[in-house]
Amino acid sequence: MTRTGFFIRLALSFAIDLADFTVGRVPVLGTVQEGLGTAILLLLWGPSGLVYLWELADWTDQLDGFIPTATLIGLYAGWREGHFGGKKRELPTPRDPS
């Protein structure tokens, strides 16, 4: 993923958290939003997006809006891929068969 692609995905993750903080506080809409948010985050970040499912544990839909889970998932994925600190993570080079 390019650096620009990372920041676009991070902005989408932030938008999911913003929706969770506002519209997600309505009890039924919050649960639906968390299900859709999980599907979107799974597409954006891969298996790391499944962490967003923990928000379903708050059946009142009131407390989980104050924790920016989607943004934290994006920041973790960006850190893991080396988008912070000014250098890209080095992948191991294949060994020469000779």
Q: Domains in the chain: how many in total?
A: 1
Question: Per-residue pLDDT for 97 more than 70?
Answer: no
- Evaluate whether residue 89 is within a structural domain: no
- Evaluate whether residue 86 is within a structural domain: no
Max avg pLDDT among 24-28, 29-33, 39-43, 54-58: 39-43
Question: Per-residue pLDDT for 93 more than 80?
Answer: no
Nearest Cα residue to 77 out of 44, 45, 42: 45
Q: Which domain holds residue 70?
A: 3-81
Give the Cα separation of 3 and 1 in Å (integer): 7
- Evaluate whether residue 65 is within a structural domain: yes
- Evaluate whether residue 38 is within a structural domain: yes
Give the Cα separation of 98 and 80 in Å (integer): 33
Rounded mean pLDDT, 31-35: 90
Amino acid of residue 18: L
Kindly tell me the sign of the dihedral angle through the C-alpha atoms of 76, 82, 83, 85. Answer: positive
pLDDT at 87: 62
- Evaluate whether residue 95 is within a structural domain: no
Q: What is the pLDDT of residues 36-88, one digit of tens each?
A: 999 999 999 999 999 999 988 887 888 888 889 999 999 999 988 888 776 66
Quote the tokens at residue 82.
């080396």
Q: What is the pLDDT of residues 2-16, one digit of tens each?
A: 888 999 999 999 999
- Evaluate whether residue 88 is within a structural domain: no
